[in-house]
Amino acid sequence: MTTPQNNSKQALFSSIQFGKSKLSNRIVMAPMTRNKSPNGIPTDKVVTYYQRRAEGGVGLIITEGTYIGHPAANGYAGVPAFHGEAALNGWKKVVDAVHEVGGKIIPQIWHVGAARQPGVEPDITVPGYGPMAVEKDGLEVVKAMSQQDIDDVVTAYAQAAADAERLGFDGVEVHGAHGYLIDQFLWEKTNQRHDRYGGSLENRLHFAVEVIRAVRSKVSADFPVTFRFSQWKLGDYDAKIAENPEELATILTALVNAGVDYFHPSTRKLFKPAFEGSTDSLAAWTSKLSGKPVIAVGSVGLEKEFRTGHFTREESPDSNTSVDVDALSKGIDQGSFDLVAVGRALLADPKWPNKVKKGHLDQLVSFNTKALDQLVI
């Protein structure tokens, strides 16, 4: 049955300004690692993969995490790089293909930090880099970053942002979530340094602030810089970088002052309350405390809450579609968030936005292993 379009959809499918660009609606493709770029170079299939989501009606695409030009930035096989002529040429094809069909796209730039494991490409001899050293079986698998290491990584982030603008992207997102390098500095458990980068929350913020300032300095004033952060980590769903709204305000204020234009707070369930004693979500708190536009995310379009086991196949990824358009539009209307990121639902169904807009909810494709195994669906 086709559901007639009604006023409940108006907010979700209204346009919004994004830097110099105007997005056709509030639906964002969330960044999702696909491991389909051999030697770090996006292929023609990667080009098609993103173009199909733009054709399917996504207002803004955020690419999968792309690793910056630092020897320890990558942590996984087949992940695309965002440095070097071959990889950047591949990304230029992606940008042009998305723009050709009227879409908008930004890259997510990334350093995995201590999550890097021994033997990972491109140079298997390079250990992980992080706030603190980590030894395993008598070997140092993570190097505690020196000031020079920190400066080198900050410079690499800035160069990636400059390259993003040069290639024609519509903005850039800095990945500061899920237990990767920037998040490792923010989280007290993974940052017990005794210099100006460790200790108090204000000190643990220094690295993120330096990255954002450097990125901001290398791009135009109207080139949007978004920042993705999370409480949860890949190995700890209950982790917190902010125990209360006051600590979250400290984090957000510092990042706004450094130059963040949009925040992308990553949660596993969009409307789940962020702090005890309040029904407000992390997105709503971020909007309220930062005064900046917010991209909300968290299992949108699916009945099953996100778990990393879905991607490692330790748990069944299968999930039926479940779209509460009224709730999403209400969140936008009430100012809880400005845009909504959709992840797994868009892997399974590139036409998800257009189907939802037309009320063809019975035609939505559920998420399953096929969506993970095949890049082009």
Residue 255 lies in a domain: yes
Where is average pLDDT lowest: 69-73, 106-110, 302-306?
Answer: 302-306
Look at residue 307 in the predicted model and tell me its pLDDT. 84
| Residue 8 pLDDT class (50, 70, 90 cuts) | low
Q: What is the pLDDT of residues 239-294, one digit of tens each?
A: 999 999 999 999 999 999 999 999 999 999 999 999 999 999 999 999 999 999 99
**Residue 44 placed within a domain:** yes
Residue 107 pLDDT more than 80? yes
151: Cβ contacts below 8 Å, ≥ 6 apart? none
The most confident of the ranges 119-123, 261-265, 313-317 is: 261-265
Mean pLDDT across 26-50: 97
Residue 41 in domain: yes
For residue 315, the model assigns a pLDDT of: 86
DSSP conformation letters of 81-109: BSSSHHHHHHHHHHHHHHHHTT--EEEEE
Domain of residue 196: give its range. 7-373
State the catalytic residues: 180
Residue 98 included in any domain: yes
Question: Phi/psi at 183 (nearest 5 deg)?
Answer: -65, -35
How many other CB atoms sit within 10 Å of the CB of residue 315? Answer: 12
Position 2 in a domain: no
Cα–Cα distances (Å) from 110 to 13, 158, 332, in that order, read: 30, 11, 28
Residue 1 lies in a domain: no
Q: What is the pLDDT of residues 144-162, one digit of tens each?
A: 999 999 999 999 999 999 9
Percent of the chain whose pLDDT exceeds 90: 87
For the cut 70, the answer to whether the pLDDT of residue 6 exceeds it is no
| In the predicted structure, residue 199 carries a pLDDT above the cut 50 | yes
The pLDDT of residue 235 is 86
Query: In this structure, what CATH number is given to the domain that contains residue 350?
Result: 3.20.20.70
Cβ neighbors of 138 (< 8 A, separation 6 or more) are none
What local confidence, expressed as pLDDT, does residue 216 receive?
98
The pTM of this model reads: 0.95
At 176, the pLDDT band (50, 70, 90 cuts) reads very high
- Identity (one letter) of the amino acid at 296? A
Q: How many domains does the chain have?
A: 1
pLDDT at 4 over 80: no
Distance CA 115, CA 259 (A): 27
- Report if residue 49 sits inside a domain: yes
Mean pLDDT for 223-231 is: 98
Residue 239 belongs to some domain of the structure:
yes
